[in-house]
Amino acid sequence: MRQLKRREFLKTSGFLVFGGLPLRFSAAQGGAKGSNGLSGSTRRILEGHLATVENHLNNGIIPFWFARALDTQYGGYMTNFDEQGKALPVPEKYVNTQCRLIWWFSTLHRRFPQMPKAADMANQGVDFLIKHFWDEKYGGFFWKVHRDGSELDSAKIVYGESFCIYALSEYYLATGDRRGLDYASRTFDLLQKYCADVQHGGYIENFLRDWCPEAGGFAGGDRKSLDTHMHLMESFTTLFAASREDVHRRKLLEVVSLICEKMIDKTSGCGLNQFDLAFRSIPAIAIKRTWNGERLGEQPPDPVDTTSYGHNVEMEYLMHLALETAHQDLTPYKPIFRRVLDHTAEYGVDWEQGGIFRDGLRATSKPLVLEKEFWQHSEALVGFLDGYELFREPRYLEAFGKVWQFVQDYMIIKGVGEWRTLLARSGKPIDPNIGNPWKVAYHTGRSMLESRERLRRLLSS
């Protein structure tokens, strides 16, 4: 049955798949195939979106990173670029960003195996990662190194380790290189041994090099977050797709349940940000390596009353993918998906000026930070299309359109092919440059690949 669906999908999606599962098994689980036919006008809207998405992917993001990502001097990847796409200095290489580009080139090779060079680009990134980030003494990957690979910050941060699992699993699925699955599995094992909190459930997130927990407060040793747990859900999904091991599936489903039970506000349906170790929701403070605090002057009246629109929609489609990959019935989760999408569509989308706000309040449902940041837009595109495919709710398709138009009008730098990082509400650049050391092609590129996939499935339904 699954295999049939898979073949169906492969036939209709136009994707070839090498060395593992496709990212999605079928289009059928959401809306019954064919029974929910698109109207002519909807079809034309979807065709328009597919054309602009494919154009940006093929003539923007894909060539942008092929041309610039390789660090020809030291190996690994360059990450920082100005608004003309000219390389800026890279004093530090973060493990999560190096992994985001390993993931990017790996997933390109998996989705477009005829594309030259993607596997080579991924392979040299894996070489650099294992050579310079892997800790031979204590296991796990360091948080960051200098550009040449020399030691800079040897902490073990679960957020970063999770991106290693994600990237290395995707790399294995794309290339079959056993190093990918081996190091991903070893990292998974280390998280279970050192980071799983057997008293409260969940994972402690910030550790010293030797896997002793970091101090509390700014160093984050006494905090848990939706952010990190959502990325664990993401990486365990790909790890399970690569390994087919029961334990990877079980831990994936444990994280899914944990997010649903402890990390989603029961009243609004939104994600909460930070927690103490016992999962009590607490004010989101800045955390040394992974989380910026609220911007000055933008503190909410109740400091736990913030929610990230970007994380909310990202959570929806990552959870949807996790459940499909683990062959779980979606029915009990659909109300969760609907609520969070409805909330984001209603309050997160800027229906007036386009795009999506950065952060909002849950209790009063008001947006709090009106600036427009790149990654929330990337995630909103996929989340709203995912919801549209699942529920055929027209509002979600309109929300997609509202965000995508804003991205095309203001974020994408014409003729260069990537997005600016931060704009004012109106679209005026605040940070004109393309790069920051965390950005690369993960959010922007994935949003184009995943939007393309969903648009194609919708149009073939």
Asked if residue 194 binds a second copy (CB under 8 A), the reply is yes
Nearest distance from C-beta of residue 212 to a second copy, angstroms: 5
CA distances in angstroms from 348 to 187, 266, 292, 354, 444, listed in the order given = 35, 18, 19, 10, 19
CB 271 within 8 A of CB 311: yes
Residue from 82, 189, 276, 302 touching a second copy (CB under 8 A): that is: 189
Asked if residue 201 binds a second copy (CB under 8 A), the reply is yes
Nearest distance from C-beta of residue 39 to a second copy, angstroms: 43
On the 0-12 / 13-18 / 19+ scale of CB atoms within 10 A, 12 is: middle
Which residue stretch of 196-204, 281-289, 398-406, 415-423 sits at the interface with a second copy (rule: CB under 8 A)? 196-204
CA distance 191 to 319: 20
Residue from 28, 196, 336, 459 touching a second copy (CB under 8 A): that is: 196
Which residue stretch of 22-30, 45-53, 76-84, 210-218 sits at the interface with a second copy (rule: CB under 8 A)? 210-218
By CB under 8 A, the residues from 229 to 268 that bind a second copy are 246-247, 250-251, 254-255, 257-258, 261
Residue from 192, 299, 426, 460 touching a second copy (CB under 8 A): that is: 192
Nearest distance from C-beta of residue 133 to a second copy, angstroms: 21
Q: Which is nearer to a second copy, 136 or 246 (CB)?
A: 246
Residues in binding contact with a second copy, number by CB under 8 A:
25
Residue from 7, 86, 131, 193 touching a second copy (CB under 8 A): that is: 193
Asked if residue 212 binds a second copy (CB under 8 A), the reply is yes
Nearest distance from C-beta of residue 198 to a second copy, angstroms: 4
Q: Which is nearer to a second copy, 222 or 254 (CB)?
A: 254
Q: Which is nearer to a second copy, 224 or 454 (CB)?
A: 224
Asked if residue 296 binds a second copy (CB under 8 A), the reply is no
Nearest distance from C-beta of residue 387 to a second copy, angstroms: 26
Residue from 120, 127, 148, 210 touching a second copy (CB under 8 A): that is: 210
**359 beta partners:** 308, 369
Asked if residue 84 binds a second copy (CB under 8 A), the reply is no
- Contacts with a second copy by CB under 8 A lie at 189, 192-194, 196-203, 210-213, 246-247, 250-251, 254-255, 257-258, 261
